[in-house]
Amino acid sequence: AQSVSQHNHHVILSEAASLELGCNYSYGGTVNLFWYVQYPGQHLQLLLKYFSGDPLVKGIKGFEAEFIKSKFSFNLRKPSVQWSDTAEYFCAVNAPAAGSNDYKLSFGAGTTVTVRA
């Protein structure tokens, strides 16, 4: 079964600092990749997704992510964070389940980002 690893459990940074959150997955075939964000008290929202094409994907709120197939990675970046970016960030990978053509969405454990004003 595919696994999704988010290396940082908690990241604390100041406003205007740059942010990069790591995400690696284990599946070797074609994958579809997502980053979701969960602001305090709110529901999971889609930040961006990659299906094919340009491996540098731009999402909402100034976020972008780069798919590097050789590294099985899909890292999330933002050049300059704001206090309102304080949230939990989840990487997710949609890939065929073992022995099946059905796709299954697997999530990482999440990274909590705290931005200090």
Among 12, 56, 68, 109, binds another protein (CB under 8 A): 109
Among 21, 31, 57, 81, binds another protein (CB under 8 A): 31
Instruction: Please identify, among the stretches 17-25, 39-47, 60-68, 73-81, the one whose residues bind another protein according to the rule CB under 8 A.
Output: 39-47
Sign (positive/negative) of CA torsion 66, 34, 109, 106?
A: negative
DSSP states along 30-51: --EEEEEEE-TTS--EEEEEE-
Least separation in angstroms between CB 84 and another protein: 17
> Is residue 44 near another protein by the rule CB under 8 A?
yes
Residue with token string 């595919």 = 2
* Structure tokens given for 74: 């899909």
Least separation in angstroms between CB 15 and another protein: 25
* Structure tokens given for 36: 């979701």
* Structure tokens given for 3: 């696994």
Residues that bind another protein (CB under 8 A): 4, 9, 30-32, 34, 36, 42-46, 49, 51, 90, 94-96, 102-110
